[in-house]
Structure 1
Amino acid sequence: MLKQTDTSVPNIFTVSDGTGETAISIVRAVRVQFDHADIHIERFNKIRRREMLEEILLNARNKKATVVATLVDPELRIFLISRSMQLGVKVVDVLFPLMETVSEQLGRRPSAIPGLLRQLDEGYFKRISAIEYTVRHDDGIISSDLAEADIVLIGVSRTSKTPLSMYLGHKGYKVANIPLVPGIEPPKELENIDQNKIIALIIDPTRLAEIRAARIEALGTDDIGDYADIEKIFEELEWSRKIFKRNKRWPVLDVTGKALEENSVEIEKIILSRFPELMDE
């Protein structure tokens, strides 16, 4: 268990699957620029498993620490990026931007890197790009590149849009998710993209009420209006179904009682049947 530190002092975690000397050197070089300001540094070396990263990221969230990473294992790095985004932990990736730039300039992928468990390939870079796109388009964040999405998920609050988006993003799909708010029409931007990319999500009203009640409890507040009221939820879901019926090309997926992986498989089947070229990317 890591001890708590003074919250007024910046916390930096250096994380590496090697010795960590590169990350430590960079942090020290930065500190010099601030007249050797008081910065609390915790060093984590030889990180080789996701479970180790998970513990570090949870500690980083609790201490509001910035993670400075020099991971070269592509699988660990993908996990670090996706999980840190979910937890809201800031990560500074030291190696990847330079590796990507050099790779573009040389016209070939990195290889023969000490400690690399799997050779970096186009699939790796594609997944990183997909994760970054998915995070930028989470929970209704609309931008000019919405048409680049491979999948667009739409549904009322707490229908697994974000977890499904992140899971599919980790698999290499660019995913945007759009929340439906009672009484407000879906954003006009949806009309300008290929409607075959859009998948509507629905859930059992009683189960949705349970999920929302648990969410309210987790937030530690009861000032959420009728967010978890079963009658309002019935109305909200009925309203969303009417919107879905207006859009005949939107398949409706019921996520009730199914694991994240199961719903993900169903979404993939739908999308790949409509866009088989994604299977080859």
Structure 2
Amino acid sequence: MEAKVIYVVSDSTGETAERVTRATLLQFPDHPVRLKVERRVRDRRGLTTILESAAAQNAMIVFTLVRPELRDHFNQQAALLKVRHVDLIGSLISQIGHYLQADPVNIPSAEMPLSEEYFRRVEAIEFAVKSDDGKEPRNLHKADLVVVGVSRTSKTPLSTYLAGRGLKVANVPLVLDVEPPSELYELPGYRVVGLTIDVDQLMDIRKQRLQQLGMPPDANYGLRDHVKAELEYAHAIFRAHPEWMVVDVTNCAIEETATIILDAVKEREELRGLTMPPPRVL
């Protein structure tokens, strides 16, 4: 089956449109699609060139154009060239404007001044890198959240994702018969998140990792008895600390796990009458 083409066009970074499009394509796993992302398209000539290319390929376009004059030009040319297109943001801007009884500023996000929230995200990402895989345990008290779990339970990508939402996140590996750093037990329980996973899925993940590293498949790291013992060790630690939140990441995407954690954290903080740094709106 020949792959169809979808253009993602934006006058900013294109992150929102690309994310939404890729998420939607997951609903069509048997249909190959090539994405072409065109970022920071800010003049009519650039839009016309893209539209002509899309028309020649019988492609579809998903776009987010904040400036009304660019949206109008795009819609006119798309109709003229008979290019199938979806406006992800124009209608939303209009409806929110009506609801708020206010006019939008019509400035692409990439052109807006850097905010305090932006610098907070940068700081959080730097913290996650420095605090990855149990490094710098003395800094655990500075973390908004500390993620703990055995190897290959997505601690690092989850920490990085949450850091992108503005939270300082450290992660600590739980290694069989190795005592975690004492600093972990000094933290308030609501700041610790334990990760668990189905033993069979963890075995599969680890075997793939062993293959990538060129290691023998019968290494302890991927054997069922060893994997099961590691998980039981982690569960024993979790049971000893019932105040920790524990999330089962079996068959969960990073984004799904992050949403579960963020929702739980928000609920806990509201009950305690506190607030954590608000996550970034994607």
Give the TM-score band, short-chain normalised: 0.5 to 0.7
In structure 1, what is the Cα distance between the partners aligned to 2:213 and 2:111?
40
Does the 8 Å CA contact 1:140/1:177 hold for their aligned counterparts?
A: yes
Q: Deviations over 1:162-209 (max 9, x none)?
A: 010000011101000000000112210112222210011000000000
Q: How many residues align?
A: 171
Q: Is the 8 A contact 1:202 1:253 kept in 2?
A: yes
Q: Is the 8 A contact 1:216 1:224 kept in 2?
A: no
Provide the secondary structure at the position in 1 that maps to 2:171: strand
* Pairing 1:261–2:270 present: no
Q: Deviations over 1:76-108 (max 9, x none)?
A: xxxxxxxxxxxxxxxxxxxxxxxxxxxxxxxxx
Q: In the alignment, which of 236, 241, 250 is matched to residue 244 of structure 2?
A: 250
Matches within 5 A, 1:189-208: 189-208=183-202
Q: How far is the alpha carbon of 1:118 from its aligned partner?
A: 2.6
Does 1:145 pair with 2:139? yes
Q: Which amino acid aligns with 2:234?
A: S
Cα 1:224–1:153 change in 2 (3 A) is: farther
Q: Equivalent of 1:278, from 268, 273, 276?
A: 276
- The within-5 A match list for 1:31-70 is 48=39
Gaps spanning 5+ residues in structure 2: where? 1-11, 13-37, 41-108
Cα distance, 1:116 vs structure 2? 5.2
Provide the rounded CA distance (Å) in 1 between the counterparts of 2:155 and 2:146.
9
- Give matches, 1:51-200, under 5 Å: 117-200=111-194
- Cα distance change, pair 208–116 in 1 and its aligned pair in 2 (3 A): closer
Aligned to 1:228: 222
Tell me what 2:15 maps to: none
- Partner amino acid, structure 2, of 1:137: S
Distance in structure 2 (CA, Å) of the matches to 1:244 and 1:132: 28
Matched, 1:210 2:204: yes
Amino acid at match of 1:278: M
Instruction: Tell me the CA shift for residue 148 of structure 1.
Output: 1.3
Deviates more, 1:152-161 or 1:117-126: 117-126
Distance change (3 Å), C-alpha of 1:224 and 1:139: farther
Separation in 2, partners of 1:144, 1:224: 36
- What's the Cα RMSD here? 2.2
Where does residue 105 of structure 2 map in the other structure? none
> Equivalents in 2 of 1:118, 1:48: separation in Å?
16
Shift of 1:152: 0.5
Distance, in Å, in 2 between the alignment partners of 1:250 and 1:207 is: 23
Contact 1:153-1:178 within 8 A present in 2 as well: yes
TM-score (norm 2): 0.57
Q: Distance in 1 between matches of 2:218 and 2:181?
A: 24
Cα deviation, residue 279, structure 1: 4.8
Q: Is the CA contact 1:151–1:271 (under 8 Å) kept in the aligned structure 2?
A: no
Q: What is the identity percentage for the equivalent residue pairs of Structure 1 and Structure 2?
A: 40
Q: Rg: which structure is higher? A: 2
Task: Write the letter of the residue equivalent to 1:268.
Answer: L
Question: If the length of structure 1 is used for normalisation, what is the TM-score?
Answer: 0.57
* Structure 1 stretches lacking a partner, 5+ long: 1-16, 18-46, 50-114
Q: Is the 8 A contact 1:154 1:179 kept in 2?
A: yes
Specify whether residues 224 and 173 from structure 1 end up closer, same or farther in structure 2 by C-alpha distance, changes over 3 A only.
Answer: farther
The C-alpha deviation readout for 1:112-155, integer Å capped at 9, x for no partner, is: xxx95232001100000000001100011124332110110000
User: Does structure 2 retain, via aligned residues, the 8 Å contact 1:147–1:194?
Assistant: no
Give the AA of the match of 1:245. Answer: R
3-state SS of paired residue (1:193): coil
Which amino acid in 2 is paired with 1:221?
Answer: M
